Amino acid sequence: MSRDAERRPERSKERDGGSAGPPGRIALGVTGGIAAYKAAEVVRGLVKAGCEVHVLMTAHAREFITPLTLQTLSGQRVIADPWDLSHGADIQHVTLARGLDLFLVAPATGDLACGEEGVGRVAEPETIVGAALALLKKKAPARLRDAASS
């Protein structure tokens, strides 16, 4: 069992609406761009829905929003340097990937140095949260089936 799994608090049935576990374990990648501040509301909404949220941030994301903000909202240590071994010998991003239900990147902005831009802008946090929860809901029957067969 990884150190993170050992430290992970058990979710209460009351918080999860009486279910056996959280609706999902999500990794949220936050990239650098002015919309990075919206990640705080995404984390807040997912946690409110009972999800376990782990945040990974790029160096540029940390120029727009602090890891402390996202750690406070998620209740989980933020991975700001995936190669930092100060919290144990496990490579954090590899350990985190085990058992994830969803990997979400928001915002996924980043104009190219050549000036090329992509289509669209980041959705509002409630839209992102709703889409993530809908994906988790679709995945839930498979999770329950897998748990029953093990």
132 belongs to a structural domain: yes
Full residue range of the structural domain in which residue 63 is found: 3-111+121-149
Q: Is there a domain that residue 116 lies in?
A: no
- The CATH number of the domain holding residue 43 is 3.40.50
Contacts of 60 (CB under 8 A, 6+ apart): 31, 32, 33, 110
> Into how many domains does the chain fold?
1
Query: Could you tell me if residue 128 is inside a domain?
Result: yes
For the question of whether the overall pTM of this predicted structure is more than 0.85, the answer is no
Give per-residue pLDDT as tens, 64-104: 999 999 999 999 999 987 666 666 556 666 667 778 999 99
Domain presence at residue 142:
yes
Token output for 118: 């992509």
Asked if residue 49 is part of any domain, the answer here is: yes
Which residues are paired to 28 by β-bridges?
Answer: 55, 104
